[in-house]
Amino acid sequence: KPKTLICYICGREFGTSSLAIHEPQCLKKWEIENSKLPKKLRRPSPVKPTLESNNDGITHQHSEMNRLAYKSAMDQLLPCQNCGRTFLPDRLPVHLRSCKPSPTK
C-alpha cells in the first residue's frame, strides 16, 4: 500500500497530506522558472492528472495516480541539444556549460 504520492510537477514523493500543501508552491516555482526560460524552451503549464471514478480500491488508485503523476513530471524535462539527456529546466543551463557539441567528422 503506497504511503506516498508523487507530485505531478516535480516528480518528488510526498505524504498524502503534504502533497496538497506542496503542489501549489511547486506550481508557482515552476511558473517562475518557466518564465525565465527563452521563449523556444517554455512549456505549457503542467495539468494535474485525474482518475476516472471506479471501485478499484485505494491502493490501485494511489498506484495509478502515482503512475500518471510520474509521467506528467517526466514530460516537464527538457532535452539537451548536444547529447539528448533530459533535465529540469533550471538544471539544463548548468549542464550546457560542460556539454559541448561533438565535432562532426
Count how many domains the chain has. 1
The pLDDT tens digits for 22-66 are 999 999 999 998 898 888 878 889 989 887 666 655 556 888 889
> Domain for residue 29, yes or no?
yes
The pLDDT tens digits for 75-90 are 888 889 899 999 888 7
> Domain for residue 104, yes or no?
no
In the 8-state DSSP scheme, what is residue 44? P
Residue 27 is predicted with a pLDDT of 94
Q: Provide the whole-model pTM.
A: 0.72
> Domain for residue 95, yes or no?
no
Confidence of residue 2 (pLDDT cuts 50, 70, 90): low
What are the backbone dihedrals phi and psi of residue 83, each rounded to the nearest 5 degrees, phi first? -115, -15
> Domain for residue 94, yes or no?
no
Which residue range is the domain that position 21 belongs to?
A: 4-77
> Domain for residue 43, yes or no?
yes
**List of E strands, the chain:** 4-6, 13-15, 78-79, 86-87
